[in-house]
Amino acid sequence: MREALVSALAQPVASVLTLVVIAGMCAAVLLTSGRAVGAELDVIGSIDSAGTRSIIVRAEPAAGLDTTVLDRIRNLDGIEWAGAFSLARDVRNGAFDDGTRVPLRLVWTADWAQLGLPERLPGEGDVAYASDSALNQLGLDEPVGPVVLNDGTGGYAVGGRIAVPDHLAFLEPLLLAPQPTDTPPAPVGALLVIAERPDLVAPVTEAVGSLLGVDDPTKVSVQTSEDLASLRAIIEGQLGSFGRTLTLGILAVTAFLVAVLLYGMVMLRRKDFGRRRALGASQRLIVALITIQTAAVATVGAAIGSATALVVLAATDPLPGWSYIAGVCILAVLVATVSALLPAFAASRREPIRELRVP
């Protein structure tokens, strides 16, 4: 290793040329394919929000859907989150007899964080959380105050504000009363299921549909984001194919340039390798010397080229991600090292007597 590094410093021309080629390769890949990958990640990141992985099951009162459905789908693979919402009941601000009516829904789930609520909820199902829209309609300046059922049978205390995620926008104005998980079965008006990945929306929808256990399936409707999942697959496939083709082309050209460059340098240093062989150096040592020297120079070149490309990309485009950047650097070093094998084998097979012969 030490001798390879010293040899790299002792041959500045070969080292600089190799460094420039590898740096140029990394910069070219990151500024072309890397730019496409960054755009792909940016687009897919917006598509991969929970709203594009949602499955909404709406049930009319006569459908017979109840909260036991959560127990039936709990162990299904591919589900990130599931929550059941009761049929809407109108409530109004307890301070006004003729206040605006707002629909309140009871909600059951095993993970309140998805709704932006704390794990330990206050009260025993009698505390509600309201969105900004619901608060405005209730006439509450702050998320604190009593609301009563319009039929006068009971009420709830508004105890906090809830930010409405995209997949719950269909329930706006949103006023939710979280319920303990050990409550008796209750009717459900809407079931929301979020798949782990967009491509799982279709199979999860089919599995959930088979476990609803409703009395009248005609009273149930299912809405999914399967079209967005298909769009994601198309975008990922097209951009990914473009990036792979371009990267392979650049790698092939770089490998050829490095192999030609190193072969020329080996021919110029053939007497040096002949002396090493005459002094007892094995063929394996010669191969290791050239490949380690190339790998060390390529590592520096990959770092310089990648850093330069990242500075340019950071000013104009989304970055492709650190895993992609690391992959390009590693691939560049591997390409340079593998390309050095043929010149290294050629150098190791030089005959010492022929190389040291004086004309």
What is the 3 state secondary structure string of 231-272?
HHHHHHHHHHHHHHHHHHHHHHHHHHHHHHHHHHHHHHCHHH
pLDDT of residue 31: 82
Buried b (16+ CB within 10 A) or exposed e, 307-336: ebbbeebeeeebbbeeebbeebbebbbebb
Measure Cα distances from 190 to 12, 68, 88, 136, 185 in Å. 71, 13, 10, 24, 14
pLDDT of residue 154: 83
- Alpha-carbon gap, residue 233 to 240, rounded angstroms: 10
Residue 66 DSSP class: B
Residue 296 burial (10 A CB sphere; 0-12, 13-18, 19+): buried
Lowest mean pLDDT among 11-15, 55-59, 194-198: 11-15
pLDDT of residue 286: 77
pLDDT, mean of residues 46-61: 75
Measure Cα distances from 319 to 30, 221, 315, 323, 327 in Å. 9, 41, 10, 11, 14
Say if CB 18 and CB 301 are below 8 A apart.
yes
Nearest to 54 by CA among 166, 145, 154: 166
pLDDT category at 313 given cuts 50, 70, 90 is: confident
Mean pLDDT of the chain: 81
pLDDT category at 79 given cuts 50, 70, 90 is: very high
Q: Side chain identity at 304, as an amino acid letter?
A: I
pLDDT digits (tens, 9 = 90+) for 163-194: 888 778 888 999 999 998 788 899 999 999 99
Alpha helices, DSSP H, located in the chain: 2-10, 12-47, 68-73, 132-138, 201-210, 226-268, 270-278, 283-316, 322-339, 341-348, 352-356
- State yes or no: pLDDT of 19 exceeds 90: no
Top-confidence residue, 198 or 48: 198
pLDDT of residue 3: 73
pLDDT of residue 21: 82
pLDDT, mean of residues 75-98: 90
pLDDT digits (tens, 9 = 90+) for 93-111: 988 878 889 999 999 998 8
pLDDT of residue 72: 92
pLDDT of residue 67: 93
Say if CB 49 and CB 263 are below 8 A apart.
no
Nearest to 88 by CA among 190, 159, 156, 181: 190
- State yes or no: pLDDT of 69 exceeds 70: yes
pLDDT of residue 339: 82
- Alpha-carbon gap, residue 254 to 257, rounded angstroms: 5
The whole-model pTM stands at: 0.56
Top-confidence residue, 82 or 48: 82
Say if CB 349 and CB 341 are below 8 A apart.
no
pLDDT digits (tens, 9 = 90+) for 108-133: 998 888 888 877 777 777 899 999 99
- State yes or no: pLDDT of 233 exceeds 80: no
Query: Does a cis peptide bond (omega within 30 degrees of 0) precede residue 173?
Result: yes
- Alpha-carbon gap, residue 253 to 335, rounded angstroms: 10
Pairing outcome for strands 127-130 and 155-161: parallel
Q: Would you tell me how many other CB atoms lie within 10 Å of the CB of residue 249?
A: 14
